[in-house]
Amino acid sequence: MKKNIRKGLRALYAEDPLEADKLIWGRESDPRSRRGFLKNGALAFMGTILGARIVFADHMPAGLIPAGILETDDPFPIKGKHPGLTILNDRPWNVETPAHLLDDAITPADRMFIRNNGLPPENVDTATWTLEIAGESVRTPKTYTLAELKQRFSHHTYQLVLECGGNGRAEFNPPAKGNQWTTGAVSCSAWTGVLLRDVLEDAGLKDDAVYIGYYGRDTHLSGDPDKVVISRGVPIAKALQDESLIAWAVNGEDIPLMNGHPLRLVFGGWPASTSGKWLAKIVVRNQVHDGPKMTGQSYRVPCKPVAPGTEVADEDMCIIESMPVKSVITSPKNGGILQGRRELKVRGKAWAGERAVARMEVSIDFGATWQVVSLQAPANRLAWQLWEGNVRFPEKGYYEIWARATDTEGIAQPMVLPGWNPRGYLNNACHRIAIKVV
């Protein structure tokens, strides 16, 4: 496969399958027969990837990803990840978790979604990994080894919700560019590390500190080692919260490479893009951080509501901070069939950014009526909340179960898509699943 391709196989085929054939395999298309012509070298390469010679290669339709690639993790393995995750792109990796795989109270590491902008570092050596604290608003710039971070500062563990700002983007119309997440770009795991506040205070914060920004050791898709992939951050007030961590472990084990091993930031309740992975440097700024994907329209929404399809000027876009109230049904699985009975237990998770969820309801009649279900308190601030209840269906037939959370300020999830925005952020419409009673 050509090394200079900057998009993943699935993304390329989704955009233009014939061009993807040409880019990846060197396969030229015959418009008359709709077949793809593979030169000997390309044919041999495809056979190597598939593990055997393609017997009827001359009959293979053009613009078709070989099923042998679709049905196996090889040659696109995601080490340590559950095979049931949904791959949206493989260069860079963007992978979501189907709702029914989020049923655990604490998300297992192998079920955490992946949202990468570049390529993870190779040959990570924890013995030599360092974190630099710098910036114009730091009194004494410092560099810590991973071992020094663990030895010098108190350890803390919090369950924290990480959610991609674009989670739910697939529902926007007109469509918004970007990974077409459905409901699964979210997790709540137990993160262990040191307080970002403790490290920043050790380096000394100046009175003019406004923002922090991060830099990681991932590689830009272009391969240029000097090009920064992403460098976002948060206001100093968020950085100093009790739950804001520099983490090295999740659920008591090393963070998976795809999720930031060996060191990352974790800011619960805010867009996960603020929680920088493969953390190498933190800068304390006397202004809003202006690194890549902090400016323009990245991770921003219109400051005021706009009509669908409206072009919005950069200066009229505001940075996303706390994520909105949201919930997901994790059991039963969408499309379930209920036989021989009319009652069903339903459960899921709910969260509300910096706030908590105060009320949880479900509906089986498309929102005509709502039934309150039990809701647990969060394990700690910025963790999600478990909910469950029983629903009873009046007769046989097709039903949809809808879930709606309301936060502590009285703001509830909308029934359908909330306000449109150019980048498809912050969709917190009610999650729903289908059930057939037979």
Burial 189-198 (b: 16+ CB within 10 A, else e): bbbbbbbbbe
171 φψ region: left (φ > 0), alpha (ψ -120 to 50), beta (else): alpha
- The region of weakest confidence among 84-88, 155-159, 321-325 is 84-88
Domains, the chain, ordered by start: 9-70 (no CATH), 114-319 (3.90.420.10), 326-437 (2.60.40.650)
Amino acid identity at 273: S
**pLDDT value at position 311?**
94
256 φψ region: left (φ > 0), alpha (ψ -120 to 50), beta (else): beta
From residue 173, how far is each of 168, 184, 310, 320, 425 by CA, in Å?
Answer: 12, 19, 12, 20, 12
**pLDDT value at position 77?**
56
**pLDDT value at position 139?**
98
Cβ 264 vs Cβ 292: under 8 Å: no
Averaged pLDDT, 333-342: 92
Mean pLDDT of the chain: 90
**pLDDT value at position 14?**
66
Residue 250 has pLDDT above 90, yes or no: yes
Q: What is the pLDDT of residues 113-159, one digit of tens each?
A: 999 999 999 999 999 999 999 999 999 999 999 999 999 999 999 99
CA 99, 102, 105, 106 dihedral sign is negative
**pLDDT value at position 73?**
42
More confident residue, 48 or 276: 276
Averaged pLDDT, 251-264: 97
Alpha carbon dihedral 196, 295, 217, 190, in 10-degree steps, equals 40
Averaged pLDDT, 216-245: 96
Amino acid identity at 339: Q
**pLDDT value at position 43?**
66
More confident residue, 45 or 430: 430
Task: Give me the percent of the chain exceeding a pLDDT of 90.
Answer: 77
H or E, element range at 14: helix 9-15
**pLDDT value at position 188?**
98
Alpha carbon dihedral 171, 174, 176, 182, in 10-degree steps, equals 10
**pLDDT value at position 39?**
55
Give the list of residues 6+ apart from residue 72 with CB closer than 8 angstroms, or none.
none
Q: What is the pLDDT of residues 177-206, one digit of tens each?
A: 899 999 999 999 999 999 999 999 999 999
Amino acid identity at 118: G
Q: What is the DSSP letter of 342?
A: S
**pLDDT value at position 70?**
55
Residue 1 has pLDDT above 70, yes or no: no
Q: What is the DSSP letter of 148?
A: H
> Whole-angstrom Cα distance, residue 128 to residue 171?
44
Residue 16 has pLDDT above 80, yes or no: no
Q: What is the pLDDT of residues 346-371, one digit of tens each?
A: 999 999 999 999 999 999 999 999 99
